[in-house]
Amino acid sequence: MTTKQLHSLARRHGTPLVVIDHAVLRRNYATFCRHLPRVQAYYAVKANPAPEILRTLYRAGASFDVASLPEFLAVHENIRHLPDAERQDFIWDKIIYANPTKPRETLEALNQYKPLVTYDNLAELHKIHRHAPQAGLVLRLRVANTGSQCELSSKFGCDPGEAVDLILAAGQLGLVVEGLSFHVGSQCTNFENYVQALNVSAAVMREARDRGHTLQILDIGGGFPAPYNKHVRPFRELARTLNRELDRLFPPDLEILAEPGRFLVATAAVSVARIIGKAIRDGKRCYYIDDSVYHTFSGIIFDHGRYPLQAFKAGPRELCAVFGQTCDGLDVLSQAEELPELELDDLVYAENIGAYSNASATWFNGFPPAQVVHVNE
Asked if the bond preceding 100 is cis, omega within 30° of 0, the reply is no
Catalytic residue among 33, 188, 320, 327: 327
Secondary structure of residue 333 in the 3-state scheme: strand
Secondary structure of residue 152 in the 3-state scheme: coil
Do you know the residue count of the chain? 377
Q: What is the CA radius of gyration of the chain?
A: 22
Active-site annotation holds for 327: yes
The full 3-state SS of 213-278, as one line of letters, equals CCCCEEECCCCCCCCCCCCCCCHHHHHHHHHHHHHHHCCCCCEEEECCCHHHHHHHEEEEEEEEEE
User: How far from 6 is each of 233, 270, 283, 329, CA to CA, in Å?
Assistant: 28, 8, 32, 29
**How far apart are the C-alpha atoms of 79 and 111, rounded to whole Å?**
19
Which amino acid, 190? N
Question: Residues 33-58, buried b or exposed e (16+ Cβ, 10 A)?
Answer: eebbeebbbbbbbbbbbbeebbbbbb
Secondary structure element (H or E) that encloses residue 165, with its range: helix 163-172
What number of other Cβ atoms are within 10 A of residue 214's Cβ?
7
Angle at 56 between CA 54 and CA 58, to 5 degrees: 65
Contact in structure between 77 and 98 (CB atoms under 8 Å)? no
Secondary structure of residue 161 in the 3-state scheme: helix
The residues annotated with a catalytic role in the active site are: 327
